[in-house]
Amino acid sequence: MYHSVSQQADSRYHRWCVSPQRFEQHMSVLANGGYNVLTISDLVDQMTSNIPLPSHCVALTFDDGLQDFITDAAPVLKRFGFPATLYVVAGHIGQKSAWLSNLGEGSRPMLKESELRKLVDQGIEIGGHSMNHPELDILSTDEAMFEIRESRIELERIIGQPIRTFAYPHGYASKITRNLTRDAGYSSAVRVCHALSTPGENIYGLSRLIITEEFDDHAFLNLIQGHHVPIAPKQKRLAADCWRIARRVRKWHDQKFARHSNAIALK
């Protein structure tokens, strides 16, 4: 799982940004190791069929749909002949990454519609990533369904192809959001989890490894080979539920504070 491939980033966003040089090192490791690189939908098609997965199998994913994907990541992928799945925040196409403001990156440019179509022609799979990048599991069912379903509809309008896969914003998902994703017409979805996925994992909650700048070529190889990395742990229901409640309380508090501030401003 990658986000931004860029030379510069705010220190608060550093964890989610990999330099173009480091990214090329990672792709060289895959190429030299003879890895079979797939899109998420190609991976899921094989997982749900009787076709054995190829050895050394890797799926590359990129979250958000930042414009640096086409300037700094896509050329490297093209040079190595690798496909990838790009999860796009559909409500911000051609705009800025407003949801990253608290990480100092609220003005990062997003991909334009024409650029998404160009990437599809290059063999990049486009996936849904909501309309506005909220924490879906603390929204009402109707709000969550809007974010999930409308992102697919909007992206299909833009690229003229089915949108088959979805990435949960912030990696948060619950049984309800997984069911909503299935009902919205997606055939798979990915979480974060920082673990190796397995053929038997829930296809609406596939695990991904978080890739950062700190992984040099040796560390990257160790990571994808599974050294010191867990294998597709199940969602820890109690811990996840407690954290979800805490985030709902935080959201309620933030909304209450905003209403209070607005009331004072109007006086």
- The per-residue DSSP string of 210-227 comes to PP-TT--HHHHHHHHTTT
- Residue 85 DSSP one-character state: E
- Residue 251 in tokens: 């959201």
What would the 3-class secondary structure string for 46-80 be? HHCCCCCCCCCEEECEEEECECHHHHHHHHHHHHH
Q: At what angle do helices 113-121 and 141-159 cross, to 10 degrees?
A: 70
- Residue 56 in tokens: 């050394």
Residue written as token pair 């896509």: 74
Q: How far apart are CA 168 and CA 191, in angstroms?
A: 6
pLDDT value of position 193: 87
Q: Which residues does 96 contact at the CB level (< 8 Å), separation at least 6?
A: 106, 107, 108, 109, 110
CA 32, 198, 229, 128 torsion-angle sign: positive
Q: How far apart are CA 78 and CA 66, in angstroms?
A: 18
At residue 12, the 3 state secondary structure works out as: helix
Given a contact cutoff of 8 angstroms between Cβ atoms, the answer to whether 80 and 31 are in contact is yes
- Residue 186 in tokens: 């997606």
Closest CA to 155 of 190, 195, 184: 184
pTM over 0.85: yes
Given a contact cutoff of 8 angstroms between Cβ atoms, the answer to whether 124 and 2 are in contact is no
pLDDT in tens, the chain (267 residues): 999 999 999 999 999 999 999 999 999 999 999 999 999 999 999 999 978 888 899 999 999 999 999 999 999 999 999 999 999 999 999 999 999 999 999 999 999 999 999 999 999 999 999 999 999 999 999 999 999 999 999 999 999 999 999 999 998 889 999 999 999 999 999 998 899 988 889 999 999 999 999 999 999 999 999 898 888 766 555 344 433 434 444 544 444 444 445 555 555
